[in-house]
Amino acid sequence: MTLNDLHTGDAAVIVQLHGSGAFRKRLTEMGFVKGQPVRVVKSTPFKGPVEYRIMSGTVSLRRSEAMLIDVSVSLAEHANGTVKFSPVFTESRDENNGFHEGKKINVALVGNPNSGKTTLFNRISRSNERVANYSGVTVGSKEAVMNYKGYELTFTDLPGTYSLSAYSDDEIIVREFLSENRPDIVVNVVDAGNPERHLYLTSQLIDMGIKVIIALNMYDDLQERGDVLDISMLGRLTGIPIVPTIGRHGKGIYRLLNRLIQVVEEREPVTRHIHINYGKEIEQSINTIEKEFERYQEKLSDQHLRYYAVRALEKDDYCIHKLASFEGFEEVRPLINNEINRIEQLYKDDTETVISNARYAFIAGALKETYKKGKRDRALSRTQRIDRVLTNKYLGLPIFLAILFIMFQATYVLGQYPMNWIEAGVDWIGTSLSHFIPAGMVHDFLINGVIGGVGGVIVFLPNILILFFIISLMEDTGYMARTAFIMDRVMHIFGLHGKSFIPLVMGFGCNVPALMATRMLENKRDRILTMLIIPFMSCSARLPVYILVAGAVFPNRAGNVVFLMYLIGILFSVVMALLFKSTIFKKSEAPFVMELPPYRTPGMRMVLRHMWFKGSQYLKKMGGVILVASIVIWALGYFPRNVEFSRDYESLIAAEKGGPEEISESENSENQSVQHTPAQAEERIRQLEISMENERQASSYIGKLGRAIEPVIEPLGFDWKMGVSLLAGFAAKEVVVSTMGVLYQVSDSEENTVSLQQKLSDQVYTEGKKKGQKVYKPLSAFSFLIFVLLYLPCVSVIVTIGREAGSWKWSGFVIFYTTFLAWFASFCVYQIGSLF
């Protein structure tokens, strides 16, 4: 029977794995090896992935992948099939390599995804790199330098990887760094809650022959469950010093640094180089190949020879490709193939699986001597209780949608109060400066250009902070990984990988890190497909536009409108994914294999730090691209000054200010014999100022630009100011708001100070067939929001797509197709809506 034949709660033992290639390798690295017990935890709705309990952790597989794993329900029959302790060959210790005080030490942090590696890196180096409770957060190497006990320690935080068999782009970074850079020592971060799985990577580091020290992280979880681990004995068996750490609390950091230096200085008694015994037949093949590799000793260190021999037996493409560049390798290749064929015929299995089983046998044997599980498993039971609700077969999807609804409602409703306070403060600054700066270009530049542009955007900072706070909670608790588990079946229908959902949700915060997070996808097709639709995820930069326009036109339903925009973005993303699947990307999709981390209480310090980091990035934009864009927009709207108006506005305004006597003496036919009360005169002046400013802006450089594009945007229900705002938004979507803040500054008087939302709500056409009609009617406003949602992303996103996809043609494609789609969708919304 296969793993797919089991029902929820059933347990069995793995007998054999079918399939081939990277998928099979990944399964073995995740612990799906012969003789390993496995239990079905739960399944998702719509016959989606199934969650399995294996090696003290949970892994989700699609049913199609589970069908490739043969199991037996008779636990006693196969439980001890491979769990035998493999003895090791002990080699002599290396002599001191000359390290001394003042010398630099290059340290690489390596570990499985979600092992707390980056948290440890932040504690050691006092950095602020992003951490979260799911795999794939670190998508590139990060570096930090510190001085400790006379050494300059350079720490490199590498992406999480289950093994040195590189499948995804971030795992390739780890492999190449260790092979090419050869760090002085590797800190292997191991999750104390699941040592059996995490020590698989350790076994490969042992083969590699580099200095290693283990940081047994999250040690408090092990203690809380009542587990007992003989750290000293395990260190002696593996030849690697082990230091317990609790990264999130900073405990064990200095002990780790002290032991690290002792290892580098060759003063650590535990450190010794061992060889894992893979069994008589495999060792014979390793020795045969290793002898042939002795011809490459000058290019490969002695310790590397055995590593490359093992990797060659595993048919590792990276190592074979590197060896193929050496002279005479073609003479060795037949020998390697002969040894591979001999092992596979002997064991009736491929060499990758045979060696993986041997590694796990070594690990299981070592833990059998040193590790004893306690009777309690609080973390597991807590995770199971929470998952019974959050990933329930029927409730999981509705709960997720409810969480999204609450997130966006809270973003608007809770953010409205501090937003109003900041808006009042910006108005006060503008009004105060108006009293001290005389009228003129400088006055207009500061009030309408700088304060109007930057101030119009900065008021939305509270909304941004609330959004990132909630997203950080989802990431740090471990719920973000569950969203991929819940949504995989739905995503699969549209040609997307379940893991793609994590970058998509991250896109709600910012598209750039979301694009980089696609590195967690092993298949390049899935990566590019995901990158093509991430721009439809409404990033935090679009949020101010949604809130501004929705608050101006739909004040009583603004929160619902904002939530609707996010849902429409998701809908467009899946529809376009389905279209791309049937046209550009027709190849089969990669398997779904994903570890589900236990739920953890989020560290409020890290949540608030991440929230503020994103908020500070938003503030930095105020003094960067948004300030520059506001100044440019102001200058284009301020010049030229020699404008010929249709009426003598200055005389008309002066007449209104002069009172009834001046009005009766005016030569203007409109004002002859007209008597205005003070309130009417004030309103009349305001209308004259608006008309004058509209005419002046229409004759400015930016007005001429807007008029030039008006034929293209008029069918969408936009006026030229809306069109110019959209053009400016290419630099950054916040610039749409700052541009509006500049364009709609039509009055400087304290009495007429109103919010930007109110100014949008009051806008009317001053000429043409729509004269007197509101510019921002519900239909045109909704059409505008659709365009903002769909049209080309900002410059940073375009550049990131080109770099991550490996070709700038994808950047050009995104610019073209998103803009066309935005225009077409807005056209349909406005034209069809106008019929009703």
Could you tell me what percent of the chain has a pLDDT over 90?
Answer: 21
Q: How confident is the model at residue 833 (pLDDT cuts 50, 70, 90)?
A: very high
Q: Looking at residue 262, what is its pLDDT?
A: 92
Q: Looking at residue 540, what is its pLDDT?
A: 85
Write the DSSP symbol of residue 745.
-
Residue with tokens 């995770």: 383
Q: How confident is the model at residue 391 (pLDDT cuts 50, 70, 90)?
A: confident
- For residue range 90-112, list pLDDT tens digits in order: 555 554 454 555 588 999 999 98
Extract the tokens encoding 491.
Answer: 């995503």
Q: Looking at residue 110, what is its pLDDT?
A: 93
Q: How confident is the model at residue 513 (pLDDT cuts 50, 70, 90)?
A: confident
Write the DSSP symbol of residue 559.
H
- Is the pLDDT higher at 147 or at 43? 147
Q: What's the Cα-to-Cα distance from 389 to each of 88, 396, 405, 518, rounded to whole Å?
A: 47, 7, 18, 28
- For residue range 127-158, list pLDDT tens digits in order: 655 554 445 445 567 888 888 888 999 999 88
Distance CA(611)–CA(411), nearest Å, equals 13
Q: How confident is the model at residue 662 (pLDDT cuts 50, 70, 90)?
A: very low
Q: Looking at residue 527, what is its pLDDT?
A: 86
DSSP string, 490-552: HHHHTT--GGGHHHHHHTTT-HHHHHHHGGG-S-HHHHHHHHHHGGGS--TTTHHHHHHHHHH
Phi first, then psi: give them for residue 178, nearest 5 degrees: -70, -35
Least confident range from 305-314, 713-722, 763-772: namely 763-772
Q: Looking at residue 131, what is its pLDDT?
A: 52
Q: Looking at residue 90, what is its pLDDT?
A: 54
Residue with tokens 């506001």: 630
By the 8 A CB rule, do 509 and 471 touch? Answer: yes
Task: Mention every residue, 6+ apart, whose C-beta is less than 8 A from residue 761.
Answer: 552, 553, 774, 776
Q: Looking at residue 102, what is its pLDDT?
A: 55
The angle subtended at Cα 80 by Cα 77 and Cα 84, nearest 5°, is 160
Extract the tokens encoding 38.
Answer: 């496995």
Q: How confident is the model at residue 74 (pLDDT cuts 50, 70, 90)?
A: confident
Phi first, then psi: give them for residue 16, nearest 5 degrees: -160, 150
Extract the tokens encoding 23.
Answer: 């998928």
- Is the pLDDT higher at 789 or at 115? 789
Least confident range from 300-304, 480-484, 771-775: namely 300-304
Instruction: Please say if the pLDDT value at position 819 is more than 70.
Output: yes
Instruction: Return mean pLDDT, the chain.
Output: 82
| Average pLDDT of span 270-277 | 88
Extract the tokens encoding 191.
Answer: 């999750």
Distance CA(459)–CA(766), nearest Å, equals 29
Strand pairing of 212-217 and 185-191? parallel
Question: Helices 461-477 and 604-622, interaxial angle, to 10°?
Answer: 150
Q: Looking at residue 99, what is its pLDDT?
A: 52
Q: Looking at residue 178, what is its pLDDT?
A: 87
By the 8 A CB rule, do 456 and 743 touch? Answer: no
- Report, in angstroms and rounded to the nearest whole number, the Rg of the chain calculated over CA atoms: 32
Longest Cα pair distance anywhere in the chain, in angstroms? 115
Full-model pTM: 0.72
Task: Mention every residue, 6+ apart, whose C-beta is less than 8 A from residue 696.
Answer: 643, 645
DSSP string, 193-237: T-HHHHHHHHHHHHHHT--EEEEEE-HHHHHHTT-EE-HHHHHHH
